[in-house]
Every structure is written in C-alpha cells, then in structure tokens.
Amino acid sequence: MFRSSGIQAFRQLGVGRSGIQAAGTRRPDPNHYPHPNRRSRGFTLIELLVVIAIIAILAAILFPVFARAREAARQSSCASNLRQLGTALQMYSQDYEGCYPLHLTLPPSYTVGHYWFGLLANGVVDKTQGMLYPYTRNHQIQLCPSFTGRPAYGNATGGYGYNWIYLASNTAAGRYGDYTVHEASINRPADCIAFADVATYRTGANAGLYETFSIAPPSSSLGFGDFPNAHFRHNEVLNAVFVDGHVKALKPLRRSTNANNVAHHLHHLGVNGTDDDRYFSGR
C-alpha cells in the first residue's frame, strides 16, 4: 500500500524510471519534429511544365502586339518626315512661280545631276545640294525610321520617292528635266501623291532591298510589269504625302505575285495599269 502510493506521488512530482524531470520543464512534444518519412511539399514536374506553357503562350500573344506598337510609333515619325517634305515642296513651288522640282537636271557631260534629294556626282551624293534642301535644312527627314534596305545613294533618299512622272513631266514617259509641271495643272491636289514610302528589289549577286528616289512606275502603266516599288513597310501600309500637304496611310490595291516583292512588302497602289489617276496624276 505504502509502495504503491509512494510511486504515484513520485510520478506526480515528475519522477520516472529515467530520473527526475527538472522543475518548470515540459515534456517534448513528439509531433514537434517532422517524421523522418514525411517530405516537404514542392512543385511537381507537371506543374512546372504548365507554368512554362502559360508563359510561352502569353509571350506569343504579347510580343507581336509590342512589335506592332513599336512600328506604329515609327510610322508616326515617318508621317512627320513626309509632312515636312510636303511643306518643302510647297515652298519650292512658291519660289519657282508655281512649278514643282524637276526630276533631274543634267549638264552636257551627264556625269552630274541635281535631284530633289541631293547632288549626284560620279556615284557620290551631296545631300546639302538637293533641290529641297534650302527648305528643309535637314536631310535626316529624308530617312524613314522603318526603312531597312541597303543604300544606293548614300541613304540620301532613305526610303522616300518623288512622284516625278506626274509632277516633273507632262508625259507618261516621264522625260528627264525637259520641263516641269505647274501647280495649276493639278486639278485634284488631294489625290496626287508628292512623296511616298518606296524601295526596290534588285536581283543578281547582291540581291536585296535597296533605296530608290522615285515612286515609279506608280502602277504598271509604263510596261514594267509586276515590279512595283511602293513599299508597305508600316504594318502592311505605306505613308504618302499629297500635293495639298496632307499625309495618309494607304493599303495596296493590287498585290504583287512576285515572291521577292511579296517577301519585302512591295505591291501596287493601282488596281491595274491604267489606275494612276486614283493617286498620282491629279488631273
């Protein structure tokens, strides 16, 4: 009896077989430490693959949107350049009794020529000697920010072309520098392009996209066939400034069937070979 009650009393005081427990301490909780067979929760391979797939889908959706937004900003800068070229053209015509610049003036030697974009002499271009330079004083506006073609005139035109066939000549053949066109002969200035986004694709050893200085032929009226140089580089549209000074984004009216042209966004602004009155002649 005494032995039984004594053992119970010692157990109440915290005394067991392994010794006396210090006063004020607690027994360790067996659930406090992780079980040796219990693993921490993490991502499985399937979950990681799902996350990666979602990120890839979002990137595929957003990257083209960002690219189009950047191109829209470049298109706006291009429109500003063309607007300034259109203003320079109007100032030129005011100083020259209403006449537009000739496409090219040639001395008897035929080795030097003045164009709207500069003076070409033996393959070298002086941009400060262009017909319109006195009115712009900045040849940087002749460079489209979206033009990525190779230079053919030292980047003097930079992707812009002059409607020389109908503004520098009264003939469909576009006679070089014989006489110019008076503004009074343009009955529809809002329908007559002055400058526009252009480029040309050259075949041969150094094939590729090159700068040019004119938008010619406007359609196929000169018998050049399916070789347009209207360059729809701004999200499949081109910028053009018209004789009255307004700038407009235009879509192709007829797409080229030439693979090189299609790859480089070169198409027609006319539905056929007699559609120049829509955007070019102004008559």
Give dist(CA 49, CA 46) in Å, integer: 5
- The string of DSSP letters for 234-248 reads BTTBEEEEETTS-EE
pLDDT band, very low/low/confident/very high, at 87 (cuts 50, 70, 90): very high
Decide: residue 235, CB within 10 A, 0-12 exposed, 13-18 middle, 19+ buried. middle
Q: Identify the CA nearest to 250 among candidates 211, 196, 214, 209.
A: 196
Q: What pLDDT is recorded for position 26?
A: 58
Tokens of 220: 């196929």
Are 251 and 237 contacting, i.e. CB atoms less than 8 angstroms apart? yes
Residue 100 above 90 pLDDT?
A: yes
Residue 166 above 50 pLDDT?
A: yes
Tokens of 105: 């003036």
Give dist(CA 85, CA 141) in Å, integer: 8
Q: What pLDDT is recorded for position 2?
A: 45
- Average of per-residue pLDDT values in the chain: 81
